Structure 1
């Protein structure tokens, strides 16, 4: 689990590409020199990857086909910067929000505008993701924990302070660029429960429940 607080702006120093995988090597002195071990989880542009080797100040991770299909990692090139965050320790603090590192899909930067000291990014996203995005809710963009400033039918906005711009890859993104998105995990589970309520024939379920309706809520004291 992650929090969306980027620890380091790493640099891609190695790429081994196969037919359905990428072996990615990232130089990240801030992260690697703090006792990073093989088998640990590290988020790269919001994608949870497993460290397979460590050499000097760089770590290597394998990116499988499912991850390439869901994210933008397949388009990385040597020299590209990436957001890096280690998994949250059990005694750590939530400075951002709950981030699993399991990318839901990608969006496209539609516009970039100044708003005082901040920079506002408007990002187009498919309906399958937009239904989980709410104004003033949380979203991870390229692994960065951000607050949604506005929501439309097919796009949403986030506002970036100068510190975030200076220490993440967002400052390098331009209109038309693809970005990784992870929506609120609680919203996804709620949507799944609503679309597939427990019913007859459900293994291990004995409660006689149906869809949540206004009458159902009233009958249960809500």
Structure 2
């Protein structure tokens, strides 16, 4: 689980596209120094799993002996030093349904480690399970803050509400406005302070850029529950055999 509070801006070091998947390597600037094999990292809001330890060399490297910085280039071989690497395998579905498929070496990405049990909960419940890919429609940069309007897939609109929570590119944000239910094209608006613009990729986001959207998980569960028309019976019989036997004894 994540909270949508971005810890670091990483840089895509390499992305090796395969038949229907990709291997992404990210310079995480020391954020993943203690992240072992199987550890989780949210990259632009997408929960990815580390496929190697920090001491292992990336795919295609000349040697697996040195735990130090490695080198990378867009072709999949490695030529530029990259400290603190994080490597993940991304399936085709994730590439198609999120903005990860559009990433190129040199692009910056928002990074967040998973929340420790004893950690401070500063944002909202973020799963790292992106619901769809939106697009920045417009931005209005004021002196001290910016307003961004993002198009979102229409099926996600019912899960949005003014002053509600949303995760955009992994950033926990409060919605300042949402499209009307009758709108043909769904959108949301957020207001961003300078700190958010500086410490996340939103500072450089331009109209037309993809935006990963994860709506509030509480809204999703509420909608799912209401779709059944009534609250389900949660009674559980833990030992039906014993219960049946006891019932027979009373006959």
Q: TM-score range by the shorter chain?
A: 0.7 to 0.9
Q: Does the residue aligned with 2:31 lie in a helix, a strand or coil?
A: helix
1:149 to 176, 195, 218: 176
Tell me if 1:196 matches 2:223: no
Q: Does the residue aligned with 1:186 lie in a helix, a strand or coil?
A: helix
Tell me if 1:91 matches 2:90: no
Unaligned runs of 5+ in 2: 56-68, 70-83, 181-185, 237-251
Counterpart for residue 18 of structure 2: 18
Deviations 1:47-81 (A, max 9, x none): 00001123541110111122122211011101110
**TM-score w.r.t. structure 2 length?**
0.77
- What RMSD over aligned residues (CA atoms) do the two structures have, in Å? 1.8
2:104 to 44, 69, 77: 77
After superposing on structure 2, the runs of 4+ consecutive aligned residues of structure 1 that deviate more than 2 Å are 196-199, 204-207
Structure label with greater radius of gyration: 2
Contact 1:149/1:158 (8 A) holds in 2: yes
Counterpart for residue 161 of structure 2: 134
Matched residues in 2 for 1:45 and 1:205: separation? 37
Matched residues in 2 for 1:205 and 1:136: separation? 32
Matched residues in 2 for 1:126 and 1:15: separation? 26
Q: Does the residue aligned with 2:129 lie in a helix, a strand or coil?
A: coil
Counterpart for residue 122 of structure 1: 149
Matched residues in 1 for 2:14 and 2:209: separation? 22
**TM-score w.r.t. structure 1 length?**
0.86
Tell me if 1:176 matches 2:203: no
